Structure 1
């Protein structure tokens, strides 16, 4: 039976680095789609889609993450790793105090994950760029909304300790080996 594993945490906490490490070890991974949506909007002349049209941006993310989930289900991979999951979308909407339709939560209840690994804010590795503009302080606050969203959906969250990318990756894989 396939296990769907999500890496969560505020911006700049090391999720993507660990996901890239998992990819290099030949695990099947679904990469973060926010950058793709942001870059597509920029090509269409919208500099900060989330800030100008948060509901449209979030709906696009929700559709993209739902699609990733469906793609994962069609594979025969025992483990599938996701850089963020469907509940991240409404967690961000809550952070920005933006209302959203009920189907955001309905999708979270329909598409369930097996393991949630949480990356706490870590100031030493936090950086910003053209697509990740949140400050460290904002990352800390967003992180609280993310954890709350997953806990409200009944998920048990496993905290990934600080350390090198290799140590964090090994922690996740060792944690999963107990359940396999």
Structure 2
């Protein structure tokens, strides 16, 4: 079976989670972003592996969680959409001296097409799980764009607009 593990990445606050919910409503399997799951878990506990407390510990947990997500979903049928994933976590870990992308990722790969949501200031919101500003989100977006390109992924920038149109775009670009 062809690799149908598809990543939706991009700028924090760019509408990734909303897009994933729209795809889920169309019957696609989705995997929630590792970072948000980690933040929620950490805020319930001691809160040490938070990106604003210890970015390296946070990124290491995100790499492990994303790897588990890939393994868990690899045998599933159909297209599965990931809200971020291993590349995003590896990019974050690499940005704090945790190794190179190739060292962190190894041979694990997603579908060759990846979808990035661009910075979208009009919808950007900070919350208890996203405590960085838009500038940091834009810097992360630019780093991810570079890292996905370096790894040879075919990048599609998801156009801004109503979520249903964004979901249509993703599905159309993937083809049959």
TM norm structure 1: 0.89
Specify the alignment match of 2:108 in structure 1. Answer: 111
Q: Which residue of 2 aligns with 1:87?
A: 87
Task: Report the CA distance between 1:47 and its aligned residue.
Answer: 6.6
Shift of 1:107: 4.3
Q: Is the 8 A contact 2:32 2:83 kept in 1?
A: yes
Alignment root-mean-square deviation, CA: 1.7
CA distance in 2, matches of 1:46, 1:81: 28
Q: Is the 8 A contact 1:109 1:153 kept in 2?
A: no
Equivalent residues in 2 for 1:2-17 (5 A)? Answer: 2-17=3-18
1:118-165 alpha-carbon deviations (Å, 9 max, x no partner): 110011111110001121222111100011111111111011111100
- Residue in structure 1 matched with residue 164 of structure 2 by the alignment: 166
**Once structures 1 and 2 are overlaid, which stretch shifts more, 40-49 or 152-161?**
40-49
Where do 5+ consecutive residues of structure 2 fail to align? Answer: none
Query: Any stretches of 5+ residues in structure 1 without a counterpart?
Result: none
1:78 aligns with 2:43: no
Aligned residue pairs total 174
**Distance in 2 between the 1:122 and 1:39 partners?**
24
Deviation for aligned residue 1:64? 0.6
Once the two structures are TM-superposed, the CA of residue 48 in structure 1 deviates from its matched residue by 6.6
Equivalent pair of 1:90/1:149 in contact (CA under 8 Å): no
Asked whether the equivalents of residues 23 and 29 of structure 1 are also in contact (C-alpha less than 8 Å), the reply is yes
Q: Is the 8 A contact 1:87 1:105 kept in 2?
A: no
Q: Would you say 1:57 and 2:54 are equivalent positions? A: no
> Counterparts of 2:26 and 2:151 in 1: how far apart (Å)?
31
